[in-house]
Structure 1
Amino acid sequence: MSAQATSSAYDTRTRILDLGEQFMLARGFNAFSYQHIAKELEVKPAAIHYHFPSKEDLGVAIIRRQLNRLHKWRGLPRVTELTPTQQFDALLEVYHGRVTERQQVCFFGALAADFQTLPEAMQQELRTFTTELTEWVAGVLAAGREAGTMHFRGHPVSKASQVLTTLAGALQVARVYDARQYERIVAQLRTELLEPA
C-alpha cells in the first residue's frame, strides 16, 4: 500500500472516530448509527465497517483514544509543573471546553445513562478511564491538602469521585439551562475546596 493510500485510510479512520465521538457526546452512544457517520462523510456505511466492523469496536476505540489523551495531558510539562491548585484549575478548563463546544457532556455523562445497554468491552473501558481519571484527581487533591491550599474532609479518592460527579452533573445542567448554571456550580465547588472553612 502506498504512503498516500495509508495516509488516506488513517485520515478516514480518524474522521470516523471524531464524528463518532461528537455524536456520542452530543446524543449518547445509542442515539446514533453508522448511517449518521456515513452521511456526514458522504460515504456508504460499508466504508465505516471497513475500519470498525461493529459499533462496539468504534465505541471501544473512542474511549481508548480518550484514555490516551488523558495519559498525554496529565504528563505534559505544562500540567506536571503546575501547583495542585493550578492542576485543578486546568482540569476545570477542560470541562469548561465541553460547555462551549456545542454543549457536550463528558465521557462519563455521555455513557453512564446507557451503561446497562453498552457492550461489556465498552463498560470495562469506561471503568478503566474513570478509575484513572479519579486516581489522578485524588492525587491532586491529596497534594493540595498537604500543601494547605485545598480543604476537604475524608479520603481524597472519595472527594475526587464527588468532584467528577459534580462536574458531570454541571455539564448536564448547562444543557437544560445555560453556561451560567455550570459556572455557578463550578464556582461553588472551588469555594468549598480552595477557601478555608
Structure 2
Amino acid sequence: MSNQPEVLTPDTRTRILNLAQQLLLERGFNAFSYQHIAKELGVKSAAIHYHYPTKEDLGTAIIQRQRKRLNKWRGLPRLTELQPQQQLEALFEVYLEHLRSEQRVCLFGSLAAEFRTLPEAMQQELRLLTRELTEFLAGVLEAGRAAGTLAFKGQPTAKAAQVLTTLAGALQMARVHDERQFYLIFEQLRLELLPE
C-alpha cells in the first residue's frame, strides 16, 4: 500500500472548498473537521490534507475565494453600468439569495461569531473582505446621494457598515425565526435609503 495521499479528480480542490464552505455556513468553522469532508466526499482525510494541509489553510482559502468573487462581481459591466440605486438593489439581491438558501447566513455572519477563535490568517482575510465590501457599498451610497437617488445622514462609510451589519443580522434573525423577520428589516432599510 502506498504512503502517497490519494490524488483525486482535478475538481477535487473545488469540491473540498465548496463542501467546507457549506459546512462552515451550516455549523460554524469550529464545528466541522476534515473527517466530515472526507466522509461526505467518500475519500480519506489524507486527500483533504493534500490540497489543504491545515484547516487554517482551508478556512483562509474559503475567505480568499469570497474576496475574489466580490472583486470580480464589483467589476462586471452589468453592475458597473448600473445607476447607484440599481447597484444597491443588486447587493440586496445577494443577501436575498442567502435568505433563499438553507443556511440563511452569510460568510461574515457565520465567521464573526467565532472571530476570536479563528486563526490569525482567517481573521486578517475576514477583515479585508469586510473592508472591501464596505468600501464598495460606501462608494455606491455616496454616488447615489450625489445623484439624488439614495438618501441617508452621516458619512457613507458609516452608513455602509450599518447597512451590511443590519443585513447580516437580518439573516441571523431569519435563521432563528423565519424569513418574515428578514423582510421586515430589509424593507425598513429600503425605506430609509430610497427617497420617496
**TM (normalized to structure 1)?**
0.94
Which residue identity does 1:168 align to in structure 2? Answer: A
**8 Å Cα contact 1:170/1:185 also seen in 2:** yes
- Taking the aligned partners of 2:150 and 2:82, their CA distance within structure 1 comes to 14
Tell me whether 1:134 sits opposite 2:143 in the alignment: no
- Taking the aligned partners of 2:115 and 2:187, their CA distance within structure 1 comes to 29
**TM (normalized to structure 2)?**
0.94
- Taking the aligned partners of 1:94 and 1:26, their CA distance within structure 2 comes to 18
Aligned partner of 1:163 in structure 2 is 163
- Taking the aligned partners of 1:173 and 1:130, their CA distance within structure 2 comes to 20
More helix by percentage: 1
- Taking the aligned partners of 1:116 and 1:84, their CA distance within structure 2 comes to 35
Aligned partner of 1:77 in structure 2 is 77
Greater shift, 135-144 or 102-111, is seen at 102-111
Aligned partner of 1:58 in structure 2 is 58
Which residue identity does 1:35 align to in structure 2? Answer: Q
Which residue identity does 2:142 align to in structure 1? Answer: A
Aligned partner of 2:14 in structure 1 is 14
SS of corresponding position for 1:8 = coil
- What is the correspondence of 1:69-148 to structure 2 with a 5 Å cutoff? 69-148=69-148
Equivalent pairs, count: 190
- For structure 1, list consecutive stretches of 5 or more residues without a partner in the other structure: 1-5
**8 Å Cα contact 1:103/1:174 also seen in 2:** no
Aligned partner of 1:45 in structure 2 is 45
Aligned partner of 1:3 in structure 2 is none
Greater shift, 20-29 or 115-124, is seen at 20-29
The alpha-carbon deviation at position 103 of structure 1 amounts to 3.1
- Taking the aligned partners of 1:39 and 1:123, their CA distance within structure 2 comes to 28
Aligned partner of 1:190 in structure 2 is 190
- Taking the aligned partners of 1:34 and 1:63, their CA distance within structure 2 comes to 17
- Taking the aligned partners of 1:85 and 1:194, their CA distance within structure 2 comes to 8
The alpha-carbon deviation at position 109 of structure 1 amounts to 0.5
- Taking the aligned partners of 1:71 and 1:24, their CA distance within structure 2 comes to 22
- Taking the aligned partners of 1:174 and 1:27, their CA distance within structure 2 comes to 16
- Taking the aligned partners of 2:103 and 2:90, their CA distance within structure 1 comes to 19
Which residue identity does 2:41 align to in structure 1? Answer: L
The alpha-carbon deviation at position 99 of structure 1 amounts to 1.0
SS of corresponding position for 1:153 = coil
Tell me whether 1:24 sits opposite 2:24 in the alignment: yes
Aligned partner of 2:3 in structure 1 is none
Which residue identity does 1:110 align to in structure 2? Answer: S
- Taking the aligned partners of 2:26 and 2:82, their CA distance within structure 1 comes to 31
**Can you list the C-alpha shifts for 1:1-43, whole angstroms capped at 9, x where unaligned?**
xxxxx9923x000000000111111111111111111111011
Identity of aligned residues (%): 67
**8 Å Cα contact 2:8/2:47 also seen in 1:** no
The alpha-carbon deviation at position 135 of structure 1 amounts to 0.2
**8 Å Cα contact 1:103/1:171 also seen in 2:** no
Aligned partner of 2:173 in structure 1 is 173
- For structure 2, list consecutive stretches of 5 or more residues without a partner in the other structure: 1-6
